[in-house]
Structure formats: C-alpha cells, structure tokens
Structure 1
C-alpha cells in the first residue's frame, strides 16, 4: 500500500482480545498455536527485505514452504510473483487470496533484534507480515482441504508504486488461474488491536505520478536578464496547479494534487536552465482524474507561452481506484464479527486517499480489501514502524474463514 494514511476510525473501548499462545482466542486455534513459528518466519523476512521485483529470496522461501505443504506452486508470474493452488475435497468455485512481498527504500530506525540487515531498505509497511499471514492461511487450508473448489494463494511482488499487480495480470494471472472472487488485507497501526476495518464500495484512491520538466535559458546569477529562469516558472506553476482543486473542481469532490519534489540548479551564482516539479494526484473517479490531468497540461502550456520556455508534462497512471464489492463487504464483516466480535468490526464511512494496487485485481474479480488493527502507533512508511506479530493469527484466520465461507456458499 502506498502513502497509507487512512482516516482513523473511532477507537473502541471494549477489552482487547489477546492472540498470544495460551490465551483464549477468537481465532483458528491451530493457527494461533503456531504463532511462534510464523513470527520467526516473519522476522526472517524482516531481516532480509527486498525491493519490488527483487524479491528473489522471499519468493524462494515462500515457494519452498508451499511445496513442503503439498501445494502446487507456479513461479515467475509477473517477475518474482508466484501462485499456489490448493485443491479442495470436491469440485466448486475458486477464491483468490493475495499478499504483497516487497519492502520500501527506507532506512530502518529501530533497535529490534530482527531489524533490517539491508542498508536503505526495510519492511516499513508490514508486507513481511502480510506474506506470513497468507503462508499461515495456506498451511491451514492445505492440511484440511475441507472445502469444495480451490483456493489460489497469490504472492505479489512490487506493490509499492511499481505495478506488481498489473505485471502479474499481464503475465496471465487470471487467465491461468481464474478466480470467482479475490481477497486481500493490510495491517493497520491506525486502529485498535483486533479491529477489522472494511470500507464498502470505493475504499481507496486511484493515483497518478507526474513529472513536469521546464526548459529555460541559464545565465550568470549576476545577470538574470539574460536568462529565462526556470525556477521562477516552477514557483508560478506550483501555485497555479493548486487552483485546480480550489477553482476547477466541485467543492464536495475529494481529490489531492501534491507537489512533492522541486529540483533545479547546482551553484550559488548560476541561474539554471532546467527545473523539474514532481508529485502525485489522488482521486476517486475517472472524471476527477481527467479534470486534473487536463488542467495541469493547460496551465503548463499557458505558462510556457507567458515565460517563453518549454514545458513537458509527463503524467503516469500508477494506481486504480480500489472498490470493494458492497455485498461481499457485508459477508466479510459478518465473518469478522464471528472471529473477533461484532464490536471490533469497523465499517468505515470515508475512503482513504492512500492507494493500493490490489485495486487492479478487484477489477478482474469481485472481492474485498480489509485491514486488521494491531498494537503500536508509529505510522506505516515510517523508519520506526514496528509490525505486531500478535496480529498474524487474526489475519490468517480471516483469510481462511473468508475463503472457506465463500467456497461453501457455492
């Protein structure tokens, strides 16, 4: 998940339900009993994080575990992605369960014994936990096979803005392994421990990344009259772009245009000849996306004429709007209530402006993306983020229970 900062749901005040071994558990007991084993696996992944499309070690370990449990494995889908096929005890439908495996280019700043050993790379978004949850779910499903149909476990590379879901889909994921429904989850330090969060319908924003390159004319800093200063153009354009949201969009429409980088120059006494603005768009409809894209190009073209410079606008489609199936959201909420208690299910009313490429899989098959809350208040994508291993049994139990229930429904 990219730039995760979902609206914080109201915190409940009911007692927390522990998931550590030996305590009463509202999760699948066989999974909870294996928490120490899976926590060790998760911490090994954490020590050895891998950036998107480089998850060679991670995917190799995952494949080896799946094969050891008698699961049919297909490697090299979308690069380092892989799929496991778990056949049930009778013919039936197919449900997909997905987890992401990649880490972030962030230097970890924790004092954990199992902190990252790779300079500049860490699992600051908890994808090591997601991978482990799906492994725990796969092991349980494979040892019981007490369901009709089949479960496809999807271990995806490169979720963090690199297009891993699209790469797997382009490589024939759903052609080779068609799914009637598909489900995914994310850990959440933003909600209380044990709370399952679900947003019916549109749940997360789509996203574009953009780079705007200004070609001006450089000069000596003492003689700016000989220049066409790209820095002045960049500052004017940065301000003009913010009028798109305030003056071109309906007041009730949720959208974000953030300039996150401005680069130009390298000396104190030189007016540079180029400048670059980079950033992201967030939106919840194609109409909002098209409006922002069109106005960015129009404003850039107008300022190019006004300042006598050249401006090139490059806008890239990175994430699709994530939309949960409304009916299946109710089903997942019901399953969550059985596992963790109805008082610990949060049906969220606001969509998050963060983005997630599981949205592309939900375009291929209906399904639901949900969150599982855990201890800790350091946000995702923070160098000090710490994943709470105690949430592994809850996440894995949710995945197993959702798959079994949906296959039993026929």
Structure 2
C-alpha cells in the first residue's frame, strides 16, 4: 500500500564523503532520467556508466548480454567476492511529471526507479575506487532488461558470476510502497514467481437471436475466468500466498453477433517454489474441462517468466545489520515487507546466496507517492546517498565476515 500518512522525519548515519556525494548523485540520476531506454537498448545508459568507470580507473567489461556492464574493484587484501546488481532499463510509458529533468524520449520513462539503482551503484563504485581498504573484491553488475524480456539470465550465461567467482550478491529496489527512512529486509521469499498465460477459446459464431445454433465463446471464456479463481481458493495451501489474475478478455465485434472466439490473458504469482510446474497443468485442466462442457476448443500458451526472489538467511542478516546502522529513523527496518511483484534478481539468487531489499522512497510531504509504473512516478532523491552508504557498509561487513 502506498503510504498516506506523514511519517516522522527520517535521519541517516552517513559518512561525510558519501554525504558530500549527494549533489553528484543527483546530477547523474537526473541525467539518466532524461534519457530512458528499453530492455537491451540501453546504449546511452551503458556509455554513460562506462565513461564514469573509465574516469575512475575501474576495470570493466561492456557489451555483456548485449548492453550490460560488469565492473571489478579489488580491495587491498585478499578476501571474498561480493556482487552488487543494478538494473538499467526503463518502461514504455509517457512521463506526466512536470519537472526539469523529465524524459526526453517520447513514450519511454524511468517509472520504476532503475535510474536511481544505476546511480547508487555508480556512487558505490566511485567511493570504493577511492577507498580500497577492504578485503576481497566487489563486482558491480549493471544489468539490462529487467522489465522484460529479462537480462539476468543472459548475464549469468555470459559468465558474470565467474572469474572471479562470486560468493554472494546483493541488490536494492527503491520502493514507493515504503516511506523515506524505511528499509525492507526480509529473510526468505521477498518477491513472487511470475507466470503468464494466453488462451483463445474457440466456439461457433452466429446470430445473437439464435444462440442454440452457436457455441458462444464469450460465455465459455467467462466460465473459464470464474473457474480459474478456484485454483487459489481450492488447490493452494491456505498458508501459502498465490494470485491468479485475468488482465485481459476480448471477444466479439457487434451487439447481435455471437462471438466465435474470445481471447484472455493472465498472470500467476506465488512465493513457494513447490508450486513450480503446478499451475500450467491445473490451468490447462480447468480450461479443457470448461471448453469440453460447452462444446468449445482452445489454444493455450503458458510460460514462466521469473522464479520467486528468495533471500539467503545469512546475507539478509548482513544487510539488516547494515541498514540498522544507517537508518536512524523511528521507522527503521521492516522485516515482513513482501510483494507479489516479480524480479529477475531471482536468477542470481538461484546461483549464489544473496539478498534483495527495498529502500523506501516515498515522501507524502513532497507529493512523491505515486506507485511504480505510473506516469507520475518519482521518488525522494535523498535515498541516493543512503543507498550508497548501505552498499558500502554491506561491502565492509561482508569483507570482515561481520553480521
């Protein structure tokens, strides 16, 4: 739920060097916000990142999984390898914000905060490149196409978790469902698996006054929509959470013509990995049964997009301890924060232990409460330096083995 009450004024424990970075972080973020790019098209964004990394003398590789970048920063002493992941892509949305730095690319907008994620990772890279008094290695993964079709898996296949081998990974999402001064850190499932399906019900068209001569595809599709809702209520353990949503239903052309076909699209979300593979079979059974009952046929496509985002206990504890040392607000760390939204950070977490967490960015007093993917989405830019401090403290704690 979007925050609707004014929270206490937050305060943060930031080291002077990172606090002094804020104007530069602001400049970077606003530049990125003006030039949003869709998945696997982030050429300007990647060039901007690479230019900064080169200026700071940070070893990096470009063109990973098309537009991704991987940067490596060595500490002064041998130690473990921690990866930090930041997504770079924008959304096909026309921005409605009246701001000086609004999108200059028509029909594209950073409506989910990825410009902030990239900026925070850049700020972290800058600080660590000038303060290498930590043990081990930090690998910064600037990932394309989180919003679709998914850039995490291609980056993993390209070897971003190897050479040097990553021991753990962290990432954050600026989150307007939490107010500024709040960090959402959770052990276990944080975000849901995402499955999508598309179905075309095929009936027999005819005149609206003579339904007995037809098989009404719209009636059949309506029964399918209703029947699919029983999956969660009658097939999923009530202790578990799951969602079956029909987001699109189209059929027919005129008042007095019974539709021959009707098309529906839906999404399925769940946290528990044990349901992996369950929903495709059950959806097919229900659609087949309903269609058979009414004398219709169907075409069905069902595919899995992302797995659940499941945080490792130990790395979640590390992030939580860092957050508690940074956030001095009464709001603090929210341990039970979850969402049925999906994220391809899940693919990284399937390969190595890690933690993905939320950094509250809403501010009612500034009118910054619009939800993600909204044309007026924006966040309180105070979170930029806070995010850098959080990442740096995670690096320091991880290199010392401190939780």
TM-score normalised by L of structure 2: 0.92
Checking the alignment, whether the CA contact within 8 Å between 2:171 and 2:356 is kept in structure 1 is yes
Tell me how far 1:64 sits from its aligned partner: 1.3
Tell me how far 1:263 sits from its aligned partner: 2.1
Secondary structure of 1:43's counterpart equals helix
Tell me how far 1:257 sits from its aligned partner: 0.3
Checking the alignment, whether the CA contact within 8 Å between 2:28 and 2:119 is kept in structure 1 is yes
Question: CA, structure 1 residues 57+130, in 2 after alignment: closer, same or farther (shift >3 Å)?
Answer: same
Match of 1:317 among 304, 307, 310: 304
Checking the alignment, whether the CA contact within 8 Å between 1:161 and 1:319 is kept in structure 2 is no
In structure 2, C-alpha distance between the alignment counterparts of 1:378 and 1:164, rounded to whole Å: 26
Find out whether 1:193 has 2:185 as its counterpart: no
Find out whether 1:256 has 2:256 as its counterpart: no
Aligned to 2:77: 90
Secondary structure of 1:404's counterpart equals helix
Aligned to 2:373: 381
Unaligned 5+ runs, structure 1: 18-24
Tell me how far 1:81 sits from its aligned partner: 1.1
Find out whether 1:282 has 2:250 as its counterpart: no
Match of 2:90 among 103, 118, 121: 103
Checking the alignment, whether the CA contact within 8 Å between 1:104 and 1:123 is kept in structure 2 is yes
Tell me how far 1:11 sits from its aligned partner: 8.3
Tell me how far 1:74 sits from its aligned partner: 0.8
Match of 1:16 among 10, 22, 25: 10
Aligned to 2:41: 54
The residue correspondences of 1:220-239 to structure 2 (distance < 5 A) are 220-221=207-208, 223-239=210-226
Aligned to 2:314: 327
In structure 1, C-alpha distance between the alignment counterparts of 2:5 and 2:392, rounded to whole Å: 26
Checking the alignment, whether the CA contact within 8 Å between 2:209 and 2:256 is kept in structure 1 is yes
Aligned to 2:284: 297
Question: CA, structure 1 residues 267+12, in 2 after alignment: closer, same or farther (shift >3 Å)?
Answer: closer
Tell me how far 1:319 sits from its aligned partner: 1.3
Unaligned 5+ runs, structure 2: none
Question: CA, structure 1 residues 186+350, in 2 after alignment: closer, same or farther (shift >3 Å)?
Answer: closer
TM-score normalised by L of structure 1: 0.91
In structure 2, C-alpha distance between the alignment counterparts of 1:356 and 1:186, rounded to whole Å: 10
Aligned to 1:21: none
Tell me how far 1:289 sits from its aligned partner: 4.2
Tell me how far 1:83 sits from its aligned partner: 0.5
In structure 2, C-alpha distance between the alignment counterparts of 1:350 and 1:229, rounded to whole Å: 44
In structure 2, C-alpha distance between the alignment counterparts of 1:40 and 1:95, rounded to whole Å: 27
In structure 2, C-alpha distance between the alignment counterparts of 1:210 and 1:51, rounded to whole Å: 23
Question: CA, structure 1 residues 350+93, in 2 after alignment: closer, same or farther (shift >3 Å)?
Answer: closer
Question: CA, structure 1 residues 215+326, in 2 after alignment: closer, same or farther (shift >3 Å)?
Answer: same
Tell me how far 1:232 sits from its aligned partner: 1.5
Match of 1:39 among 7, 16, 26: 26
Tell me how far 1:57 sits from its aligned partner: 0.9
Tell me how far 1:251 sits from its aligned partner: 2.4
The residue correspondences of 1:395-410 to structure 2 (distance < 5 A) are 395-409=387-401
Find out whether 1:127 has 2:119 as its counterpart: no
Checking the alignment, whether the CA contact within 8 Å between 2:46 and 2:69 is kept in structure 1 is yes
Tell me how far 1:355 sits from its aligned partner: 1.4
Tell me how far 1:28 sits from its aligned partner: 2.8
In structure 2, C-alpha distance between the alignment counterparts of 1:323 and 1:214, rounded to whole Å: 36
Question: CA, structure 1 residues 176+313, in 2 after alignment: closer, same or farther (shift >3 Å)?
Answer: farther
Secondary structure of 2:181's counterpart equals coil
In structure 2, C-alpha distance between the alignment counterparts of 1:161 and 1:338, rounded to whole Å: 35
In structure 1, C-alpha distance between the alignment counterparts of 2:39 and 2:296, rounded to whole Å: 37
In structure 1, C-alpha distance between the alignment counterparts of 2:188 and 2:329, rounded to whole Å: 20
Judge which range, 398-407 or 225-234, deviates more.
Answer: 225-234
Secondary structure of 1:337's counterpart equals helix
In structure 1, C-alpha distance between the alignment counterparts of 2:337 and 2:172, rounded to whole Å: 17
Tell me how far 1:157 sits from its aligned partner: 0.7
Aligned to 1:22: none
Tell me how far 1:271 sits from its aligned partner: 3.4
Checking the alignment, whether the CA contact within 8 Å between 1:90 and 1:149 is kept in structure 2 is yes
In structure 2, C-alpha distance between the alignment counterparts of 1:311 and 1:293, rounded to whole Å: 15
